[in-house]
């Protein structure tokens, strides 16, 4: 029985493309076994880790996951809460209990809290198999957004925009004096002066475009410096950033499933 | 008199020149252009999105919905009346059936994925060009797929089995008549997902034609693969 790799690490493959032959290899995320062959299940970048072969997706829509912080918009108000548009195929439900610690009496007008069209930063607390999404607003940084603008980026590039421990986004924040919140669903809220907002938007677009390049932080720094005409010194450590979620553990190394279960925290 | 040379001087197993490009429509989730000779197909994928009316929703899986549309002045003959007609409905349906076996939408219950196929210019082989473009667009949109789908029309003009008939060949007047067989298949496994026939063929001729279709689909697959990889060329290190 032959056993060989048919592609190199970090190459782009298309669905159905053979990646490896032989039972010695293990198909992981984004790949499947077809008899002796391991094939790609979607368009992506091959990542070979010993005998395990997986794909890093380059495109595709956002899949809601428990614990993700996302930016949403209220599109319906019911008796028991608000329905939110998550920029996916599925709406999210924000119950009264999860919305605020205020006392809200029965039958109160919920639009006094959040009205149609309001943008909210929320955290996903539960996703069912049928993709019913429950969200909460109890947590640091989860709030209603006022002013600013919202842009949409490829959700697969979000980890890159946030950077390691939020390094990339805090650099943009520091350089442009903008308030920025990055939702895992690919929506980004930016608030600052019009000029600075524009620089921030362009920078984010650049990161989205060049997400695959290594040493991007340096490049972004030079870009920001030329755009703003000032030197970026030390970026202060993050405060008030608890809402910026940690980079997707899925990106690069390590599987999301390997994260510590909630009960140990 | 037999059909000795093809109207446009191609070899019998040769397709018209093919160009494919991915990511041509910015606002779509995924998109592609597939041009074969004078036939041009654009495909755009939108979704997954909420499916209405609600009774069509499937809690087990997402739904694929294709829309094939020939533009009013795209063909050789008179202006095609815009909008749906019986032919377009049929082709939309067979396109859906040709693509669905490749696609896995289990992760998106109750939703729909819309594929719009537009043909600004046509010269026979439109459903095949549409399927090729649509499969590229779906891959570009990042859906899970078993394989790409490659498609080509093969046929018989007089005594000859040919690949990728153009309109002049489809309308060729000869004693034995013309048969036209659009085929779509998974290029890696050879599974056939579309097989239609217009005209008639003997069993032997059909077998020969399918053998040719398989060979040609492999070539088309290479073009498709190349087009997808070109878009993401910068992404590999």
User: Tens of pLDDT along B36-56?
Assistant: 999 999 999 998 999 999 999
Could you tell me the domains of chain B?
18-230 (3.30.230.70)
ipTM of the complex: 0.90
Q: How far is CA B10 from CA A122, B15, B16, B17, in A?
A: 61, 8, 8, 10
B226 part of contact set with chain A, CB < 8 Å: no
b/e code A139-166 from CB counts within 10 Å (16+ = b): eeebeebeebebeebbbbbbbbbbbeeb
Task: Please tell me whether residues A139 and A154 are part of one structural domain.
Answer: no
What CATH code is carried by the domain that includes residue A198? 3.30.1370.10
- With contacts defined as CB-CB under 8 Å, which chain B residues touch A18? 188
For residues B236 and A193, the model is more confident at A193
d(CA A134, CA A83): 10
Name the helix (H) or strand (E) containing B217: helix B203-231
**Distance (Å) from the alpha carbon of A62 to chain B's nearest alpha carbon:** 10
Q: How many residues does this entry show for chain B?
A: 237
What is residue B236's predicted lDDT score, i.e. its pLDDT?
58
- Where a domain ends, among A123, A145, A167? A145
- Domain match, A155 and A224 both: yes
How far is A244 from A241, CA to CA, in rounded Å?
5
Average pLDDT estimate for B195-224: 96
CATH number at residue A112: 2.40.50.140
Contact A15 B140 (CB under 8 A): no
Do A137 and A158 lie in one domain? The reply is: no
Residue of chain B nearest A10, judged by CA positions: B236
Comparing A57-61, A135-139, B59-63, B231-235, the range with the smallest average pLDDT is: B231-235
Whether A249 is covered by a domain: the verdict is: no
For residue A160, what pLDDT is reported? 93
Same-domain check for residues A74 and A140: yes
**Which are the contacts of B117, defined by CB distance < 8 A and separation ≥ 6?**
B41, B42, B43, B66, B67, B68, B69, B95, B130, B133, B134
Mark whether A168 and A137 lie in a shared domain.
no
Q: Is the pLDDT of residue A208 over 70?
A: yes
Q: Which residues of A touch B149 (CB under 8 A)?
A: none
Please write the tens of the pLDDT for every residue from A158-180. Answer: 999 999 888 999 999 999 999 99
A252 located within any domain? no
Let me know if residue A243 belongs to a domain.
no
Domain that holds residue A116: 69-145
Nearest by CB to A59, from B30, B107, B111: name it. B30
Predicted TM-score of the model (pTM): 0.90
pLDDT at A237: 64
State whether residue B34 sits within 8 Å of chain A by CB.
no
Q: In this predicted model, which residue has the larger pLDDT, A246 or B125?
A: B125
CA–CA dist B114, A69 (Å, integer): 28
- Is A214 a member of any domain? yes
Does the CB of A34 have a partner CB in chain B at under 8 Å?
Answer: yes
Q: Rounded to a whole number, what is the distance in Å from the CA of A67 to chain B's nearest CA?
A: 19
Tokens in use for A186? 């690919």
Q: Tell whether the model's pLDDT for residue A252 goes beyond 70.
A: no
Percent of chain A predicted with pLDDT > 70: 88
When divided into structural domains, chain A yields a total of 3
* Same domain for A158 and A123: no
- Tokens encoding A57: 């997706």
Contact assignment for B109 to A131 by CB distance below 8 Å: yes
Say if B12 is an interface residue toward chain A (CB within 8 Å): no
pLDDT at residue A265 tops 60: no
Residue B44 contacts A, CB cutoff 8 Å: no
**Given a cut of 80, is residue B234 above it in pLDDT?**
no
**Angle separating helix axes A216-228 and A194-209, nearest 10 degrees:** 150
Measured distance CA(A162)–CA(A211) in Å, rounded: 11
End position of a domain, from candidates A88, A119, A145: A145
pLDDT averaged over every residue in chain A: 88
Q: Smallest Cβ distance to B29: which of A34, A61, A130? A: A61
pLDDT band at A186 (very low <50, low <70, confident <90, very high): very high
The answer, for A262 touching chain B at a CB cutoff of 8 Å, is no
* B53-104 confidence digits (pLDDT tens): 999 999 999 999 999 999 999 988 889 899 899 999 999 999 999 999 999 9
Kindly state whether residue A238 falls inside one of the protein's structural domains. Answer: no
Do residues A155 and A129 both lie within one domain? no
Task: For residues A209 and A223, state if they share a domain.
Answer: yes
Q: What is the pLDDT of residue A70?
A: 97
Cα B74 from Cα B78, distance rounded (Å):
9
Which is more confident, B191 or A254? B191
Question: What pLDDT was estimated at residue B169?
Answer: 92
| Residues A197 and A179 placed together within one structural domain of the fold | yes
Which domain CATH number covers A49?
2.40.50.100
Q: What is the pLDDT of residue B60?
A: 96
Alpha helix ranges (H) inside chain A:
96-99, 158-162, 167-176, 194-209, 216-228
Question: In this structure, is residue A241 part of a structural domain?
Answer: no
A17 interfaces chain B, CB cutoff of 8 Å = yes
Strands A133-136 and A91-95: parallel
Residue where a domain stops, chosen among A212, A228, A244? A228
Would you say residue A30 lies in a domain?
Answer: yes
Pull the structure tokens for residue A154.
Answer: 């490829």
Residues A96-125 pLDDT 10s: 999 988 888 888 899 999 999 999 999 999
Return the residue of A nearest to B148 by Cα.
A15
Same domain, A129 and A101: yes
Chain A interface mutation, best of B142, B146, B225, B231, highest count of A Cβ atoms under 10 Å = B142
Same domain, A52 and A98: no
What is the average per-residue pLDDT within A241-261?
45
């Amino acid at each position: 029985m032959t056993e060989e790799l048919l592609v190199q690490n970090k190459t782009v493959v298309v669905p159905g493309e053979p990646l490896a032959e032989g039972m010695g290899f293990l198909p992981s995320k984004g790949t499947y076994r077809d008899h002796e062959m391991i094939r790609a299940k979607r368009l992506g970048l091959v990542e070979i880790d010993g005998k395990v072969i997986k794909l890093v997706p380059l495109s595709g829509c956002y899949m809601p996951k428990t614990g993700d912080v996302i930016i949403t918009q209220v599109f319906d108000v019911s008796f028991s809460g608000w329905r939110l548009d998550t920029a996916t195929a599925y709406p999210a439900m924000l119950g009264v209990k999860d919305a605020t610690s205020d006392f809200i009496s029965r039958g109160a007008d919920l639009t006094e809290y959040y009205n149609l069209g309001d943008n909210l930063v929320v955290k996903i607390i539960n996703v069912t198999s049928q993709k019913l999404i429950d969200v909460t607003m109890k947590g640091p940084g989860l709030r209603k957004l006022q002013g600013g603008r919202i842009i949409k980026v490829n959700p697969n590039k979000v980890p890159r925009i946030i950077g390691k421990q939020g390094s990339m986004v805090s650099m943009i924040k520091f350089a442009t004096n903008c308030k920025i919140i990055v939702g895992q669903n690919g929506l980004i809220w930016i608030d600052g002066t019009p000029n600075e907002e524009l620089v921030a938007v362009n920078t984010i677009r650049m990161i989205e475009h060049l997400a695959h390049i290594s040493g991007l932080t340096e490049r972004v720094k030079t870009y920001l410096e030329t755009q703003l005409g000032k030197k970026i010194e030390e970026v202060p450590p993050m405060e008030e950033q608890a809402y910026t979620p940690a980079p997707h553990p899925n990106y690069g190394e390590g599987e999301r499933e390997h994260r510590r279960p909630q009960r140990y925290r | 008199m037999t059909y000795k040379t093809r109207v446009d001087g191609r070899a019998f197993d040769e397709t018209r020149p093919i160009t494919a490009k991915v990511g041509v429509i910015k606002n779509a989730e995924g998109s592609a252009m597939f041009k074969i000779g004078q036939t041009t197909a654009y495909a755009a994928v939108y979704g997954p999105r909420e499916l209405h009316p609600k009774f069509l929703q499937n809690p087990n899986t997402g739904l694929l919905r294709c829309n094939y549309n020939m533009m009013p002045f795209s063909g050789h003959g008179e202006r095609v009346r815009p909008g749906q007609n019986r032919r377009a409905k049929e082709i939309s349906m067979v396109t859906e059936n040709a693509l669905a076996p490749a696609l896995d939408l289990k992760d998106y219950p109750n939703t729909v994925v819309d594929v719009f196929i537009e043909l600004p210019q046509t010269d026979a082989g439109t459903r095949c060009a549409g399927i090729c473009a649509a499969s590229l667009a779906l891959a570009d949109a990042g859906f899970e797929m078993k394989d790409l789908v490659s498609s080509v029309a093969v046929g018989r003009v007089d005594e000859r089995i040919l690949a990728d008939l153009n309109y002049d060949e489809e309308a060729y007047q000869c004693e034995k008549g013309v048969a036209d067989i659009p085929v779509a298949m998974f290029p890696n496994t050879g599974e056939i997902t579309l097989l239609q026939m217009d005209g008639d063929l003997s069993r032997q001729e059909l077998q020969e034609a399918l053998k040719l279709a398989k060979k040609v689909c492999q070539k088309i697959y290479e073009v498709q693969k190349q087009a997808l990889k070109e878009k993401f060329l910068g992404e590999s290190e």
